[in-house]
């Protein structure tokens, strides 16, 4: 099992990559004439944005668990 801090770091990297995909999806060229393609692109970007939020939440929770575990070991 990975230590919690390493898991938090990997989750942060995952969230950063997902955020990059989301930003890339939102900034894609608006030269698509078909509104269905535009809607699909927006859904794609929102999905990656959601995954970025999930990655950040997992990173935050695991970091807090690691801090609580270290605090318990010090006591």
pLDDT in tens, 6-61: 998 999 999 999 999 999 888 876 665 566 666 777 888 899 999 999 999 999 99
C-alpha dihedral sign at 57, 58, 63, 69: positive
What are the residue ranges spanned by the domains of the chain? Answer: 4-74
Nearest-5° angle of CA 37, CA 50, CA 8? 140
pTM of the model: 0.79
Helix, strand, or coil (residue 28): coil
pLDDT for the residue numbered 39: 72
């Amino acid at each position: 099992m990975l230590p919690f801090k390493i898991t938090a770091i990997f989750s942060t990297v995952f969230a950063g990559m997902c955020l990059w995909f989301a930003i890339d999806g939102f900034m894609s060229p608006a030269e698509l004439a078909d509104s269905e393609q535009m809607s699909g692109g927006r859904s794609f970007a929102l999905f990656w944005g959601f995954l970025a939020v999930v990655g950040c939440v997992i990173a935050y929770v695991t970091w807090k668990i690691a801090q609580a575990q270290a605090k318990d070991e010090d006591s």
